[in-house]
Homo-oligomer: A and B are copies of this chain.
């Protein structure tokens, strides 16, 4: 691929893509700036990496509009754009080879139930099980050995990697991606305690709804609602090993990092960012654009959008950081207190 082809492609997304250097050099793939070799394209989106420009062996760098390039332009070319990070993502997409998850069509070993509706151009991998009354949209790929129980609806252009399980009634929108080992729609954790200390299971009669453009990582658990739906809204992104309990609602374009645990009936607004290993008490809600730091324990609802929470229990980050600083300096407080005690003792002795 020539540099001018990359420039042309980026012009689809950016008003201005300025070339510095030669347009005719062949680029054969992306690489990290510090380990790139001849023929590679890399990028600088962060000031920390400007120092590598002088030494990189890459042939093309995607950089910001203000990044100085003059002195290097004889041995490598530059494309200058407003957002070099996003531009590089597009470059990655140019070089990405489509991943083979399942061959086109229905594998001969797949089990397709009764009354299943398959769209155009659907691929169903080896040993997949599609149970009765499922509906699968156009161009969707179901990986080998994934299992859809009864009455699951999958939209178009979805990708289910191998070993995904969707329990009965699950509804997926369009362009949903789910990675291996994730279980969607298992029973919520609901048991009614009895006077003798035992528990009666509460039937979990709801479903899980996952809206368009959601991507869900590996080995997550997203439980069905007791009644109604557990909902993941459009464009949300969920990492690995995340627990989303029954009756939760996760807002649009909210991002949840690995090993976070969202307890039952929690509502999280849109455009939130939930850090790794964060946990939530049940039945609370967070407004839009809330950030929750990693390992935070959110114990009650908040009402001001755009806050950052941190700590166990969680509080606004400014208070939490102030408190952490006080704790770090506790030994100084203790010393001061002891000095003061000695002084007072001395003063009293002087009386």
| A→B interface (CB under 8 Å) | 30-32, 35, 85-86, 89-90, 92-93, 95-96, 99-101, 109, 111, 125-127, 129, 131-132, 143-145, 147, 149-150, 161-163, 165, 167-168, 179-181, 183, 186-187, 189, 191-192, 194, 197-203, 205, 213, 215, 217-221, 223, 226-228, 235, 237, 239-241, 243, 245, 252-253, 255, 257-259, 261, 263, 270-271, 276-277, 279, 281, 294-295, 297, 312-313, 322-324, 326-328, 330-331, 333-334, 336-337, 340-341, 343-344, 347-348, 350-351
Contact = CB atoms under 8 A, between A and B. Distances in A.
Contacts of A213: 198
Given A217-B221, A240-B243, A331-B326, A271 B163 contact: no
A96 B205 contact: yes
Contacts of A163: 147, 163, 165, 183
A191 B237 contact: yes
A261 B243 contact: no
Given A181-B221, A330-B326, A126 B129 contact: yes
A324 B327 CA distance: 9
Contacts of A271: 197
Contacts of A259: 243, 259, 261, 279
Given A221-B241, A253-B197, A336 B341 contact: yes
Given A189-B217, A326-B334, A340-B341, 12 more contacts: A85-B192, A145-B145, A147-B163, A197-B270, A241-B241, A241-B261, A263-B294, A295-B312, A313-B324, A337-B340, A343-B344, A343-B348
B147 A200 contact: no
A92 B203 contact: yes
A111 B129 contact: no
A165 B180 contact: yes
Given A240-B221, A255-B199, A336-B341, A127 B145 contact: yes
Contacts of A192: 85-86, 89
28 contacts: A35-B228, A86-B200, A92-B202, A92-B205, A95-B203, A99-B149, A100-B131, A100-B132, A126-B129, A127-B145, A149-B162, A161-B165, A161-B167, A161-B186, A180-B183, A181-B219, A183-B240, A186-B217, A201-B215, A217-B223, A241-B241, A241-B261, A259-B259, A276-B279, A277-B279, A312-B312, A340-B344, A347-B347
A263 B161 CA distance: 22
A111 B107 CA distance: 11
A253 B220 CA distance: 26
A239 B145 contact: no
Given A187-B179, A192-B86, A129 B131 contact: no
A218 B185 CA distance: 10
A134 B314 CA distance: 48
A189 B343 contact: no
Nearest to A30: B227
Contacts of A144: 111, 129, 147
Contacts of A340: 337, 340-341, 344
